[in-house]
A and B are shown apart, each in its own frame.
Chain A
Amino acid sequence: MRYAIVGLLGFLIGAAAGGAAIYYNPLTQARASAEVADRALHYALPGEVLDFTLGEAIVPPGTPKREAVLWEETIDRTALLSLVLEDARDRPVAVASRLLAVSPRTDFLLSGVRLNDYWLLTIPGEGTLFLRADTNVWPFLKETLPVWYFGAPWKGPTEYRPTAGPSEDGTAVVIGATGRFAGQTGSAVELYRLTDLDGASRSASATGELDLRLAAHRVASGE
């Protein structure tokens, strides 16, 4: 019996040490390299959200119940977000749809909590862009979850650069779809600044920025 208790105690301490190693693991902080953007669009959350729909399986526990729209088991770990984006002079210039899904590349040891993040971004009068990003939300979750669920003090505001691929330099892939963007390719990086965290309502406010860089013309249709 004493051996069982000692074994259990050792296991729990070891598991806690493993959890701490995952929490402080620097490998999961990977992010895109800084790059000079041709164009920066920004947005405020939740102020410029047109619609946000979260899959049933990833609704944070304790958040106010809403009618589950994405309940089917094939899409219950996805989200849909539509946003208005503004230019440097705070004029609304674009509307974006984001299709998000928890990525199979999620790995708490090596890459963090990854999302497949697909954007359809339309700038009226110019055209539509398609963005494909690997987004690492683990740094964000590490900061928000202790505040939301354990009442930990928040040390914000905090800046994040969640874009972590799929390009080798960690940037998102941009493909021109329609209008003057058709046939163009480029890269993008998303930045955001968490400005408020409310533990009671389990909500957050943030400002975000999408830095776009359109460069070479497309050579082939596939990636």
Chain B
Amino acid sequence: MKITFFVALLLGFVGVLAAGHFVPWGSHVRLPSQTRVVANGGRDERFVIRLPADRVAVAGANGVGLRAGAAASPRALPAALTSEPLLVEHFKIRDASGNVVGLAARHWSADARAAGTAWALMLPSRGALLLTSPSEARGALEAALRRAGYNAGSAWTGDLRVAFTPADAQTAVVAAGSDEFAGLQGRFSEVWTITGVSEGGELRGTIEIDTVTRQGS
């Protein structure tokens, strides 16, 4: 009887410790990576954001355009942070097949001293990527929409592609990565395809982020 008790006690003790150590408490569901091999080396991976479904939150300074006003966060930026052109956006991101695979934050600023765009992409099962590029011009999307016939306050439909990264591939770069993306270097492009704007200014369309990376030396 005593032996039974102590063996069971040991089993319970060791079982809980083993569960604490060996059970993969922090693993995430992983979908197959939608990567393609590039002919001259490296790999190509596309991430897609569908608007408005994948927009989680946005906070922006005054006058930064439709993207700031379309789906405001519960709280706005304090006045002290709105004197400079600044836009903070949060999205879900999808793979090329349209499956949600992660989250992203995009910070854009266009003031004279610190202009630039930074993306942080987090794929929970794979790691994170930091993408940086020169910032697109203030109001770039609105200007392109106006050229395509959009008038503020009225609905618009069409098919407009706006590249937010410069054609110069050297300045839109994959700057850092973690876990599976650690050590990758490369470039990226960011293209917004707008197919509609509601009367309230909500954008419909997609953002495509194409990365071409290779292992750094």
Binding site for B on A (CB under 8 A): 2-3, 6-19, 21-22, 49-51, 53, 69-70, 72-75, 77-78, 80, 82, 84, 91-95, 97, 99, 101-110, 113-114, 116, 118-120, 122-128, 130, 132, 166, 175, 177-180, 182, 220-223
Contact = CB atoms under 8 A, between A and B. Distances in A.
20 contacts: A6-B1, A6-B8, A10-B7, A14-B16, A18-B15, A18-B20, A70-B56, A74-B30, A77-B28, A80-B90, A82-B105, A99-B122, A101-B124, A104-B27, A118-B128, A123-B114, A124-B109, A125-B114, A179-B114, A223-B183
B39 to A, nearest CB: 23
A127 B109 CA distance: 8
Majority secondary structure, B binding face: mixed
Q: Which 10 A-B residue pairs are closest in the complex by CB-CB distance? A: A14-B12, A178-B116, A18-B16, A179-B114, A108-B20, A10-B8, A97-B105, A222-B183, A106-B26, A14-B9
A166 B182 CA distance: 12
Contact of B25 (A11, A108, A110): A108
Interface in B65-97: 73-78, 80-81, 83-84, 86, 88, 90, 92
Contacts of B167: none
Contacts of A3: 1, 4
Contacts of B211: none
B13 A17 contact: yes
B21 A11 contact: no
Interface in B189-216: 216
Nearest to B130: A130
B83 A13 contact: no
Contacts of A91: 80
Interface string B177-189: 1110011110000
Classify the secondary structure of A's interface with B: mixed
Contacts, number: 275
A8 B99 CA distance: 45
A9 B8 contact: yes
B120 interface: yes
A41 B76 CA distance: 19
Contacts of A118: 120, 122, 128, 178
B165 interface: no
B77 A50 contact: yes
A89 to B, nearest CB: 11
Nearest to B82: A124
Contact of B86 (A101, A124, A175): A124
A180 B113 contact: yes
Contacts of B19: 108
A179 B113 CA distance: 7
Nearest to B125: A74
B37 interface: no
